[in-house]
Structure 1
Amino acid sequence: MSIQNLQRYDPFADEGNASNESDIHIRIQQRNGKKTLTTVQGIDEKYDKRKILKYCKKEFACNGTVVSREEYGEVIQMQGDQRERIADWLIRNKIADKEKIKVHGF
């Protein structure tokens, strides 16, 4: 018998098999002090991530970059907590369905 309240929960861990390869994961990472970094992973290869970043930077008034990781592919990084804004932007521009976007973080 295990007590549910005493088990550790990692908000950044994927839910196992419930996650699909075509899902878009939006995460936040803590940096120095109050500073945070938002990462977007899993956008389909048919979309130009640099062009997406260009429009998001202008609309959200933040800076960002596209980094290439072996295990994750190309990942969009933006300054600040942009999780809700980027999720809404992806849905509004028909890049992803609401069911395919997974927002992680604290």
Structure 2
Amino acid sequence: MQKWENIGLRKSLTTVQGLKKDFSYNKILKDLKKEFCCNGTVVQDPELGQVIQLQGDQRKNVLTFLVQAGIVKKENIKIHGF
């Protein structure tokens, strides 16, 4: 699941949550940062577990990346904010 948050006037944050625990979040983050030329981090949320946060509005990019990499199926992704 992806979520987009507006931070201030021009800054935004894209979060990716709910991936299987079998995946290496740090490896996925590294690939996402390299692919989209943005910064990001993996944070631990008390309710959601590990969450990937990326700078900027990367919703469509992350959707395409996760589907092409075979990490999730397109019908299992829910994008908020559209």
- TM-score after normalising by structure 2: 0.97
Larger radius of gyration: 1
Identity %: 49
- TM-score after normalising by structure 1: 0.76
Q: Give the Cα separation in 1 of the matches to 2:57 and 2:6.
A: 10
Q: What amino acid sits opposite 1:38 in the alignment?
A: T
- Bigger relative contact order, structure 1 or 2, given CA contacts below 8 A and separation 6+? 2
Q: What amino acid sits opposite 1:80 in the alignment?
A: G
1:81 matched to 2:57: yes
What is the alpha-carbon root mean square deviation over aligned residues? Answer: 0.7
Structure 2: gaps spanning 5 or more residues:
none
Equivalenced residues, count: 82
1:40 matched to 2:16: yes
Of Structure 1 and Structure 2, which has the larger fraction of its residues in strand?
2
The within-5 A match list for 1:13-92 is 25-92=1-68
